[in-house]
Structure 1
Amino acid sequence: MAKLVVLYKTPKDTAAFDRYYSSTHIPLARKIPGLRSYDISEGAVAAPAGPSGVHLVATLTFASMEDLQKGLASPEGQTAAGDLANFADGGADLLMFETRDA
């Protein structure tokens, strides 16, 4: 399996971010070819020391890193990636990695 984790930093207007993310970005991202599952954090994203500065965490799962990369390179993946500029004014970190059972 391979995962794409997106750490959305706290935006200027959290309510506007949440509305846009739910109504526009999620439907775009769900169209990425090869996407197996997609989940997002609910409630505050905390760090052991307290507030994290992260508003929302999204985890997208693919069968392999190859599928993840193909999905992101597809027109649907490019549309979803391009959409970040429309709502993620706090910034976002994207992390990609393969997983294994531990």
Structure 2
Amino acid sequence: MAWIALIVAGLLEMTGVAMMARLHEKKNLSSALLLGASFTGSFFFLSLAMETLPMGLAYAIWTGIGAAGGAVLGMVFYKESTAPLRLFFLGLIIASVIGLKLVSP
């Protein structure tokens, strides 16, 4: 259950980052509310995951999901660079998150 909560927290973190970009483009109440709800939900699910998982592990994976997911969202929806070196380092983040999961309880 803790791992599911951690994944949900990471996905909500990605949503929050996307809502920041949306709020930058369209300054409206719905974007601001979605931004607040996404980050609030993200912290809530992260706290649930940290009841079982070690803090360092949970935080590292949560950050990795958010960082990698935010970068992918930027490439897909905001036409950010997909340079090979950028994709390589994005792959390293993803591999690190998977590696942490594989070596953790």
TM-score by length of 2: 0.32
- Look at both structures and tell me which one has the larger radius of gyration over its CA atoms: 2
Greater strand share, structure number: 1
Q: Which has the higher contact order (CA 8 A, sep 6+)?
A: 1
Greater helix share, structure number: 2
TM-score by length of 1: 0.32
